[in-house]
Amino acid sequence: MEAQTINGKELSIKKRVEIQENVQSLKKEGVVPGLAVILVGNNDASRTYVANKQKACKELGIYSELITFDATVTQDVLLSKIHALNENKDIHGILVQLPLPKHLDEDEIIDAISPMKDVDGFHPINVGKMVIGQDALMPCTPSGVMVMLEDHGISLSGKHVVIVGRSNIVGKPLGQMLLNQDATVTYCHSKTHDLASFTKQADILIAAVGKANFITPDYVKNGAVVIDVGINRNEEGKLCGDVAYHQVKEIASYITPVPGGVGPMTITMLMYNTVKAARKAIER
Ligand code: GUN
């Protein structure tokens, strides 16, 4: 039987309605949630992501500020800006769009963001809290995947989840979130020997590889849930994921498409984190 599609676009709309309601109640309490986005240089993909983040803020009634710097900006100028935003009462979330130009120290930049305003969930304090199961701001793409699984009633307890990809943005945090929900988690990556022998065991397979159509049916167990976090361009320049969607759809139980799968959920979870940070700020 053909897999059921998990539609991230529809779910995203549903979740944004809930978030918008939370924005409204914060406004009634006199607080407008605010997000500052820092963009360095002219990376086309980054500019598109940032524009989409701004647009989502506008739609939900979240105040947003875009701060752009030339690619030649110094570490000190960037750090000063972050320090100022940490002190700014109108701003509840700070996001530095990655990757940064090579001369900048990404780790030091992330460390400078107040953990309470770290809506990307990249600060070591938030990463640490997540690992030990404390309340934290958590990375947006993995959070989006968790919401998609939950919304479809896909149980995690005791399930074998195999994650292909170990980035700090997706693979590693997603594995921790799944572990916190009692899944058995296997991390695979570019150095893994005989990758298919692992992925074939997955009840839930997460592809976060960054290679177009890399996961073919040879890597997938019959009836598996397949989550595609990849955003690639194929030879024709068309947007596609890490999973050979049409072939894998024939054997999976659930599958996420690209576009229209995990992607739309990422920005929705950023909005969620911004509202959460604003709520926490007034409760302090
Ligand atoms: N670059 C690619 N994904 C992300 C993300 O989730 N957050 C930030 N800040 N930069 C990114």
User: Which domains does the chain show, CATH number per domain?
Assistant: 30-114 (3.40.50.10860), 140-262 (3.40.50.720)
Question: Does the beta carbon of 120 lie inside 6 Å of ligand 1?
Answer: yes
Question: Does the beta carbon of 119 lie inside 6 Å of ligand 1?
Answer: no
Write down the pLDDT at residue 284: 84
DSSP the chain: -PPEE--HHHHHHHHHHHHHHHHHHHHHTT---EEEEEEES--HHHHHHHHHHHHHHHHHT-EEEEEEE-TT--HHHHHHHHHHHHH-TT--EEEE-SPPPTTS-HHHHHHHS-GGG-TT--SHHHHHHHHTT------HHHHHHHHHHHHTT---TT-EEEEE---TTTHHHHHHHHHHTT-EEEEE-TT-SSHHHHHTT-SEEEE---STT-B-GGG--TT-EEEE---EE-TTS-EE-SB-HHHHTTT-SEE--SSSSHHHHHHHHHHHHHHHHHHHHHH-
Using the mean position of ligand 1's atoms as its centre, give its distance from the Cα of residue 1 in Å: 36
Is there a cis peptide before residue 99, judged by omega within 30 degrees of 0? Answer: yes
User: Cα separation of 163 and 207, whole Å?
Assistant: 6
In the chain (284 residues long), the average pLDDT of successive 10-residue segments reads 95 98 98 98 94 97 98 98 98 98 98 98 98 98 98 98 98 98 98 98 98 98 98 93 98 98 97 98 91
Write down the pLDDT at residue 193: 98
With pLDDT > 90 as the criterion, what percentage of the chain qualifies?
Answer: 99
Question: Does the beta carbon of 97 lie inside 6 Å of ligand 1?
Answer: yes
Using the mean position of ligand 1's atoms as its centre, give its distance from the Cα of residue 98 in Å: 5
One-letter amino acid identity for 259?
P
pLDDT tens per residue across span 170-215 = 999 999 999 999 999 999 999 999 999 999 999 999 999 999 999 9
Question: Which of 47, 120, 127 for a ligand 1 pocket mutation test, highest count of atoms within 8 Å of Cβ?
Answer: 120
Question: Which of 49, 267, 271 for a ligand 1 pocket mutation test, highest count of atoms within 8 Å of Cβ?
Answer: 49
Write down the pLDDT at residue 1: 78
Using the mean position of ligand 1's atoms as its centre, give its distance from the Cα of residue 170 in Å: 10
User: Cα separation of 254 and 223, whole Å?
Assistant: 8
Write down the pLDDT at residue 80: 98
Atom of ligand 1 nearest to the CA of 169: 6
pLDDT tens per residue across span 85-109 = 999 999 999 999 999 999 999 999 9
Q: Which residues are designated catalytic?
A: 53, 97, 120
